[in-house]
Structure 1
Amino acid sequence: MAFFFIRTAILILLATAACTAALTPPSNSTDLAALLAFKEQLKDPLGILAGNWTATESFCLWAGVSCDSRQRVTGLVFSDVQLQGSITPSLGNLSFLSTLILGNTSITGTVPNELGSLPWLQNLNLSFNSLSGTIPHILGNLTRLEILDLTQNHFFGGIPHELHNLRSLVYLGLPGNELSGPIPQGLFNNTPNLSEIRLGLNRLTGAIPGSVSSLLKLEALVLEKNLLSGPVPPSLFNMSQLQVLAVGRNNLSGPIPGNESFHLPMLQTIALQENQFHGPIPLGLSTCQNLVELSLAVNNFTGSVPSWLAALPKLTLIYLAMNGLTGKIPVELSNHTGLLGLDLSENNLEGSIPDSFGNLLSIEELDLSSNLLSGAIPKSLTNLTYLANLNLSFNRLGGQIPEGGVFLNITLKSLMGNNALCGLPRLGIAQCPNTSKQSRPKQLLIKVLLPAVLAFFILAVFLYMMLARMKVNKRRKMPVPSDTDMQNYQLISYHELVRATSNFTDNNLLGEGSFGKVFKGELDDGSLIAIKVLNMRQESASKSFDTECRALRMTRHRNLVRIVSTCSNLDFKALILEYMPHGSLDDSLYLNDGRQLSFLQRVGIMLDVAMALEYLHHQHFEVVLHCDLKPSNILLDKDMIAHVSDFGISKLLVGDENSITLTSMPGTVGYMAPEFGSTGKASRASDIYSFGIVLLEILTRKRPTDPMFVSELSLRQWVSQAFPHELSNVVDSSILQDEFNNGIDDASRTPEDFSVTNTYLASVIELALLCSRVAPEERIPMNDVVVKLNRIKSNYSSQLGNKS
């Protein structure tokens, strides 16, 4: 009986405890622990978490954190800030989390499987980072997920077929990774709300799944630049909500369905370029009254250029280059006054260029090259004030070249291959013959004929000298045109860049970064160029392109990289720059272990950089702030002369401004001036700070982001602690080892020789520390930097010469 009472008492106590627990509100201590673990995994170079995530206030008030009424974390949002680190698995403990956005935060590592256990997650955005590994299959458990954006990372392997369980999915974005294998056939069988699919810029193979056409709400299908093959499912051309169909740069083939099975009333962009489609241009497109861009270039389409294109009032870009089109250019296209770009190059079009093309008043790009066009160039083309790229080369055109308008700055490249043209002597195209039949008095014969013969003789001598000079230049393989040529240099077409880079193969890849990739190219004339292809998946790509174009075109200095040309259309933008055989300063320091750079060379390179910044800060008619100076943006030519490049985020100071307020954090972590974080302003002093850090880096061969610089220790502090008596502990050892190779043999070195080097090293490091002071007003101006560095270099060279 006693045992019965004891057992009953225990059961009552347990029941009471359970009731008490049920009445207690959910604890948020788990959320706090998860957030602290998240912080612990990150470096946070801008101090965003360190300055705000403190115990003095509720975590619901922390930057980037949002909570519900129960004080449970529902959102963790950081976008376009530097966090640098990995994602902690502890985030899987935020059981009420609905939004996780860590876009463009420099995070690395893999995606923890624990994220697949967040039952309320609706938005998962980890785009534009350096995440790697495979996409976790367990993400298929997130049945409430509406947005999955893993754009521009380093994920590899296949697309998990478990993602077909994401029945609430609206947006699927996996472009810009290294995904391979086929698109799972059943991936879209259970996602009725899916409206955007973006899988481009991967290595996907196989066919486009027919199940795509079952997505009745689909608005965008972007699969460009993969290895997909086979036909496009015919049902895909009968989707009433589809606005963007971009499957260019694959191995797709077959004809496009006819008019009877073609119904895309909402279509705005159709990009089928660089595939193997054949047959006529589909008549069904004539019903797409919302069409803005038509890109069918580099296929096997045949037949004529449809006149019904003129009936599409919103159409602004037509790219039909490199097909097998025949017949005449439709005159009706002249009625399309909103047209911005028309590329019909490399077809078999014949007849004349319609004179009414002068009505295309908005057009910016007109490429009719490599066809069979004949007759005269219409004078009406001079009326096209926005026309920046006109290419009529390699046709059968003849007669007088019009004067004015686009022809004032046209280059020979845009007219060559038309042997019957005349009237442009500045390009070596002869004047048109005088057809006047009026007789001249005999007494004027000597006055006219003799000077003409003399002029012909002088011209012949001049041409002979020019040809000889051209042969010499060709043998020298000059990499870029001269300054004079560049002023008149024409835009280079995308197809020319494809040829120059062997279709942008990895063999020609010089480097890549967040902006895109840089390729080495060789033009048809043998000249070498560097082609900076912007990553159009980044929203800021077009702005960066425009900014860099403006900065490079309006500046001219021997230590600034020169822009040779540009190539720009809706989905492709590239800068063509002079080629630098020795790559970047970053390459010389780290790929080559810094061994090819003596102390004197390093000082010379930084003097070149200083003179470039002095020009931008003090000599140009507008003050230009570079805002992103670092070793990878300092390029070295064949003579190891430095050229500052990459003006994608440069800024202008207008009038009497001393600084400019920035809307976002510019530059690169480690090189950014500290005032960016505290005041959000950039000035000349900001560039000077970056210069000082680069100067320290080139002497120590230590990046400011080296893992050794943690907590309170920075590159500047590390060097400052060793200055001036312990510099041997921080300076790149190869400087002292190799410095006298050019002047003094190993056997003849003396302690005094190294003492001399140490003295000048100390002077340069002192200058670097002055440039990188925390307070902007305490930094030395760039014109003084040039004077000091020039004096150090001259004195050291002189002393080195005396020793030899």
Structure 2
Amino acid sequence: MTMISVLFLLFFVLTGILRVSHGATDVGDAAAIRSLMNGWQNSPPSWGKDDGPCGIPWEGISCENSRVTVLRLSTMGLKGTLSGDIAQLSELQSLDLSYNNKLGGSISPSIGNLKQLTTLILAGCSFSGIIPQELGNLAKLSFLALNSNQFSGRIPASMGLLSNLYWLDLAENQLTGPIPISSNSSPGLDLLVSTKHFHFNKNQLSGPIPAGLFSSKMTLIHLLFDSNKFTGPIPDSIGLVTSLEVLRLDRNSLTGPVPSTINNLITINEMNLANNELSGPLPNLTGMNILNYLDLSNNTFDSSEAPAWFSTIQSLTTLVIESGGLYGNIPSEIFGFPQIQQVLLGNNAFNGTLDLGTPSSELQIVNLENNAISEFKSSSGYNDVLILVGNPVCTKLSSSIYCSLMQQNQNAYSTNLSKCQSSCSPDQSINPESCLCAYPYQGLLVFRAPFFRDVLNSTRFEELERTLWTMLSLIPGSVYLSNVLFTEDNYLEVQVKLFPPTGMYFSRSEILKLGFSLSNQTFKPPNEFGPYYFIASPYPFPDSNGGKNSMSTGVIAGIAVGCIILLIALVILGLYAIRQKKRAERAVEQSKPFASWVSSAKDSEGVPQLKGARWFSFEELKKSTNNFAEANEVGSGGYGKVYKGMLPNGELVAVKRAQQGSMQGAHEFKTEIELLSRVHHKNLVGLVGFCFEQGEQMLVYEYIPNGTLRDSLIGKSGIHLDWVKRLKIALGSARGLTYLHELANPPIIHRDIKSTNILLDATLIAKVADFGLSKLISDSQKGHVSTQVKGTLGYLDPEYYMTQQLTEKSDVYSFGVVMLELITSKQPIERGKYIVREVRIVLDDNDEEYYGMKEIIDPTIVSSTKPIGFKRFVELAMKCVNETAASRPSMNEVVKEIEMILKNEGVSTNLNSASSSSTDFGVMKGVNHPYDDSLPRKDMKDDSIPKRDFGSGNAFDYSGGYSFAPRVEPK
């Protein structure tokens, strides 16, 4: 740093101190803002650094002519109450305090003094008490969102005076009583003829829906009254509101027939009248030619045949009429509608022959359980879910999957992270655009009335991602969607993570902008998603102090003077640091372990040829593990100890530190690092780097958070493994071993496959670990290695034990034992009984259901339904544990068989790891292997293969025979 730079910086500091701190803020506004600040914790750090917010800007506040006009503090982590002094901000036009879930208490009636207010958003807070009737004084109000709080009492009739109101959201509170309508003496909500949105869902509103609420003057597009306690009939007057696009009256106690006037709602996209006590005939919906979503389930309609409009409303995406009293034949035309996705007509009395006709390519689920269908005319064009359980036709289709409830063939949409290899600390997430760890702005995006019910369509949700990053001005690809599901209330919930364009954090101003865009409905999703709301999670600002911000000008001046002194000291320290850095760089260069490994006749490669692994200094690893603290120890054994560590970029790692006496020579250590750095597969634990310094040998691996497979099988990890998860764990592990056998060059035999050496990551993807006993097979060794017998009792290949000839089939035997563990959750040797022998004894070909293993199968597997492909999986496991190696399948054949088990039952084999292709590839090297997701590799020379036995005391071993897996306490 030059002297000119120092003087320039000092000039700016002094300019900041000498700047006039008294902004031109109205005295009353300044007092009101300070009153709010004193009543809140976690107000922004910029607050209080000046006498008023109209001078040096305070975050979230905008001014005009010395008056505060905008107060927006969405997702700031505010705690406290809303002081009545807010009323002093008489020129305030916009107030947004959304998504501060610790901000609560009652709303002061004085809020009615904010006569200039156009926007009032308190969504996602903890406000309680009654909604003050003084809100009716806010004549200019156009946007009012009080949803997701704890308001009680009645809806104030005075809201009918808000003639400019566009958006009215009172949903998800505890409001009671009837909907107020106008009379000679008081206003009512029927006067809100310009309002587009009535969102009153999920309250406790009661009484009949007033006929006087609706008129032809109204311009409502969203009428959400679902999940209340409304009684009585649906009023005829609802047919006057011909602008309606979404009508939700479901989950009330409405009675009587559906009025014929409902047929006037020809612009409607979604209509849900389910779960009431409606009677009479099914409504006539002829002419509703843009209706997408219809649900009339669980009412008491008169029994009838399928109405004529079943065959005419070709705009339908979802038809749901369960327990609707329908009988006769189902018109085949409905299955061919161009947009139809789901037809759910269970618990009716449909009979005769089911004919799917020519089904639409969009059709994914047809549920006709518990009807009276006697024949089925299959269609070659439909291969998705068809449920016929509880129909007479199932006596003729006893072996058909159509008579099973377990037919989901895909997982719900989630943003693809397969290109990202890194892992993050629990409070961070991976940015799908950059694959770097960051702190996203996240929360729950809830769509109250989507026009579809399909959560598998990637195109639809990819469009939602694009709309989010486009309308919120984010970097393309920086949106992550997950946990997409429909709730029992037929709301679509999506977990959303939005990532900062640069760095690890959003700034406060960026969060304020994002929060307002989502609370004020500035963000518009694709039309088919319908009305929504968003509830943000608290954001971990790096500058958050968890307390109040209240500094006087004198204190600031004192801090500024102190900063000048500190700055001078920093300049001196900086010059000293630069000098020391140069010294340190020279010292590090001298201490690097491979600096002296230069080319020679015996070692022509010099320094290690690494594929993605990096060198760590001893000090780096010491700091990352908190000086190798005992609290960070996650494994130990004869080789040394394993510690959990966190790198400066937030990446969690496992550091295996060799103890004195177990370390190897530099050449062998180098060779093993080279080998491990070349083994790249998502089902193998990856090497991050190494340390060879100050007499230390350490290997740094990726950290796997969910422990070992054994921990989960015995319940230690608190993770429940259903049968499908166990099949996918078996498939992932087998793919990792196939990579070692078929693609590693030279091939690798693991030699210690067991359930404690299979780790489960955060998404339960299996990763094979602990290469401490692994052996390389050079071309000259013809597929086997004569070596001292090593392994773990219970998993050991008996042929290898007898002949001391190690082959890839030895791993196959051990893997077969793991498969039996997955079935039984028993250890290989338990109470003197060997699992392979015990299974052989009980096998019974005549038992079609459990193959004779009902008594020894893990009870959690069969607690709900029969495990899919069970017999085939057992047979495969028994082939793997055949006493003769030649009779065992290869790991490639094991992979293909498990894939077929899953695919035949309609379960995806895409484990977000390698390709799931099952093309036979033989033993070809140098071609694209179906299970290869490694980086480009460089063939190892024969002379680089260590000419020794890789025993338990070398650098491959995670923990010297003990489980390396992190200790995961039961949840």
TM norm structure 2: 0.43
Which amino acid letter does the alignment assign opposite residue 368 of structure 1? L
Give the aligned partner of residue 291 of structure 1: 291
Supply the distance in 1 between the matched residues of 2:56 and 2:455 (Cα, whole angstroms).
36
Give the aligned partner of residue 83 of structure 2: 88
How far did residue 196 of structure 1 move? 1.4
Supply the distance in 2 between the matched residues of 1:709 and 1:231 (Cα, whole angstroms).
55
Q: 1:778 and 1:545, CA in 2 relative to 1: closer, same or farther beyond 3 A? A: same
Residues 532-547 of structure 1 correspond to what in structure 2 (within 5 A)? 536=447
Q: 1:396 and 1:710, CA in 2 relative to 1: closer, same or farther beyond 3 A? A: farther
Aligned partner of residue 189 in structure 2, secondary structure: coil
How far did residue 359 of structure 1 move? 2.1
Question: Which of 1 and 2 has higher RCO (CA within 8 Å, sep 6+)?
Answer: 2
Supply the distance in 2 between the matched residues of 1:217 and 1:136 (Cα, whole angstroms).
26
Aligned partner of residue 359 in structure 1, secondary structure: coil
Q: 1:72 and 1:126, CA in 2 relative to 1: closer, same or farther beyond 3 A? A: same
Give the aligned partner of residue 329 of structure 1: 330
Contact 2:214/2:241 (CA < 8 Å) preserved in 1?
A: yes
Match of 1:225 among 220, 224, 227: 227
Supply the distance in 2 between the matched residues of 1:267 and 1:778 (Cα, whole angstroms).
50
Contact 2:75/2:539 (CA < 8 Å) preserved in 1?
A: no
Which amino acid letter does the alignment assign opposite residue 238 of structure 2? L
Supply the distance in 2 between the matched residues of 1:225 and 1:117 (Cα, whole angstroms).
34
Q: 1:489 and 1:192, CA in 2 relative to 1: closer, same or farther beyond 3 A? A: closer
Give the aligned partner of residue 39 of structure 2: 41
Supply the distance in 2 between the matched residues of 1:200 and 1:169 (Cα, whole angstroms).
18
Residues 284-683 of structure 1 correspond to what in structure 2 (within 5 A)? 285-301=285-301, 302-356=303-357, 358-376=358-376, 378-380=378-380, 383-384=381-382, 387=384, 389-397=385-393, 418-424=394-400, 536=447, 571-573=490-492, 648=495
Contact 1:178/1:203 (CA < 8 Å) preserved in 2?
A: yes
Residue 162 in structure 1 maps to residue 158 in structure 2: yes
Which amino acid letter does the alignment assign opposite residue 265 of structure 1? I
Residue 179 in structure 1 maps to residue 178 in structure 2: no
Supply the distance in 1 between the matched residues of 2:489 and 2:172 (Cα, whole angstroms).
18
TM norm structure 1: 0.51
How far did residue 170 of structure 1 move? 2.3
How far did residue 776 of structure 1 move? 3.9
Contact 1:491/1:565 (CA < 8 Å) preserved in 2?
A: no
Contact 2:349/2:371 (CA < 8 Å) preserved in 1?
A: yes
Supply the distance in 1 between the matched residues of 2:367 and 2:395 (Cα, whole angstroms).
18
How far did residue 268 of structure 1 move? 1.5
Give the aligned partner of residue 30 of structure 1: 28
Residue 98 in structure 1 maps to residue 99 in structure 2: no
Deviations 1:166-211 (A, max 9, x none): 2322222101011112222332243232221111101111011122
Aligned partner of residue 309 in structure 2, secondary structure: helix
Across the aligned residues of Structure 1 and Structure 2, the Cα RMSD in angstroms comes to: 5.2
Which amino acid letter does the alignment assign opposite residue 41 of structure 2? K
Supply the distance in 2 between the matched residues of 1:420 and 1:376 (Cα, whole angstroms).
10
Give the aligned partner of residue 553 of structure 1: none
Give the aligned partner of residue 148 of structure 1: 144
How far did residue 420 of structure 1 move? 2.0
Aligned partner of residue 185 in structure 1, secondary structure: coil
How far did residue 238 of structure 1 move? 2.9
Supply the distance in 2 between the matched residues of 1:668 and 1:240 (Cα, whole angstroms).
31
Identity in percent? 24
How far did residue 293 of structure 1 move? 1.2
How far did residue 565 of structure 1 move? 12
Deviations 1:448-476 (A, max 9, x none): xxxxxxxxxxxxxxxxxxxxxxxxxxxxx
Which amino acid letter does the alignment assign opposite residue 236 of structure 1? I
Deviations 1:710-757 (A, max 9, x none): 99xxxxxxxxxxxxxxxxxxxxxxxxxxxxxxxxxxxxxxxxxxxxxx
Q: 1:59 and 1:115, CA in 2 relative to 1: closer, same or farther beyond 3 A? A: farther
Contact 2:99/2:536 (CA < 8 Å) preserved in 1?
A: no
Q: Which runs of 5+ in 2 are unaligned?
A: 1-23, 183-187, 413-443, 462-481, 516-533, 552-626, 635-642, 657-701, 708-957, 963-971
Residues 634-783 of structure 1 correspond to what in structure 2 (within 5 A)? 648=495, 763-764=630-631, 776-777=648-649, 781=653
Give the aligned partner of residue 558 of structure 2: none
Supply the distance in 2 between the matched residues of 1:659 and 1:114 (Cα, whole angstroms).
41
Q: 1:55 and 1:489, CA in 2 relative to 1: closer, same or farther beyond 3 A? A: same
Residues 190-205 of structure 1 correspond to what in structure 2 (within 5 A)? 190-205=191-206
Which amino acid letter does the alignment assign opposite residue 113 of structure 2? S
Deviations 1:144-174 (A, max 9, x none): 2222210111111221222222232222210
Which amino acid letter does the alignment assign opposite residue 396 of structure 2? A
Q: Which runs of 5+ in 1 are unaligned?
A: 1-25, 398-417, 430-484, 494-532, 551-562, 575-646, 679-703, 712-759, 796-804
Aligned partner of residue 76 in structure 1, secondary structure: strand
Q: 1:263 and 1:149, CA in 2 relative to 1: closer, same or farther beyond 3 A? A: same
Supply the distance in 1 between the matched residues of 2:119 and 2:536 (Cα, whole angstroms).
28
Q: 1:219 and 1:566, CA in 2 relative to 1: closer, same or farther beyond 3 A? A: closer
Which amino acid letter does the alignment assign opposite residue 331 of structure 1? S
Aligned partner of residue 195 in structure 2, secondary structure: coil
How far did residue 67 of structure 1 move? 2.9
Supply the distance in 1 between the matched residues of 2:390 and 2:177 (Cα, whole angstroms).
42
Supply the distance in 1 between the matched residues of 2:411 and 2:706 (Cα, whole angstroms).
39
Contact 1:369/1:395 (CA < 8 Å) preserved in 2?
A: yes
Contact 1:288/1:312 (CA < 8 Å) preserved in 2?
A: yes
Match of 2:245 among 222, 243, 246: 243
Supply the distance in 1 between the matched residues of 2:29 and 2:251 (Cα, whole angstroms).
46
Match of 2:131 among 112, 132, 135: 135
Contact 2:445/2:496 (CA < 8 Å) preserved in 1?
A: no
Which amino acid letter does the alignment assign opposite residue 491 of structure 2? F
Contact 2:353/2:373 (CA < 8 Å) preserved in 1?
A: yes
Supply the distance in 1 between the matched residues of 2:320 and 2:300 (Cα, whole angstroms).
13
Which amino acid letter does the alignment assign opposite residue 233 of structure 1? P
Give the aligned partner of residue 255 of structure 2: 253
Aligned partner of residue 232 in structure 1, secondary structure: coil
How far did residue 650 of structure 1 move? 7.3
Contact 2:181/2:213 (CA < 8 Å) preserved in 1?
A: no
Which amino acid letter does the alignment assign opposite residue 219 of structure 2? K
Give the aligned partner of residue 783 of structure 2: none
Aligned partner of residue 300 in structure 1, secondary structure: coil
Supply the distance in 2 between the matched residues of 1:569 and 1:789 (Cα, whole angstroms).
30
Contact 2:25/2:53 (CA < 8 Å) preserved in 1?
A: no
Q: 1:98 and 1:332, CA in 2 relative to 1: closer, same or farther beyond 3 A? A: same
Which amino acid letter does the alignment assign opposite residue 340 of structure 2? L
Aligned partner of residue 46 in structure 2, secondary structure: helix
Q: 1:365 and 1:277, CA in 2 relative to 1: closer, same or farther beyond 3 A? A: same
Supply the distance in 1 between the matched residues of 2:535 and 2:223 (Cα, whole angstroms).
34
Structure whose alpha-carbon radius of gyration is higher:
2
Give the aligned partner of residue 719 of structure 1: none
Which amino acid letter does the alignment assign opposite residue 28 of structure 1? D
Supply the distance in 1 between the matched residues of 2:456 and 2:126 (Cα, whole angstroms).
23
Supply the distance in 2 between the matched residues of 1:273 and 1:58 (Cα, whole angstroms).
53
Supply the distance in 2 between the matched residues of 1:789 and 1:777 (Cα, whole angstroms).
21
Which amino acid letter does the alignment assign opposite residue 34 of structure 1? A
Q: 1:780 and 1:375, CA in 2 relative to 1: closer, same or farther beyond 3 A? A: closer
Which amino acid letter does the alignment assign opposite residue 95 of structure 2? L
Deviations 1:256-294 (A, max 9, x none): 1236x74112212111010011222222x2122221211
Deviations 1:211-259 (A, max 9, x none): 2212521222110000110001111123221211111000001111236
Q: 1:570 and 1:223, CA in 2 relative to 1: closer, same or farther beyond 3 A? A: closer
How far did residue 39 of structure 1 move? 2.7
Supply the distance in 2 between the matched residues of 1:288 and 1:328 (Cα, whole angstroms).
23
Residue 50 in structure 1 maps to residue 46 in structure 2: yes
Aligned partner of residue 353 in structure 1, secondary structure: strand
Count of residues in Structure 1 that have an aligned counterpart in Structure 2: 480
Aligned partner of residue 34 in structure 1, secondary structure: helix
Aligned partner of residue 277 in structure 1, secondary structure: strand
How far did residue 708 of structure 1 move? 13
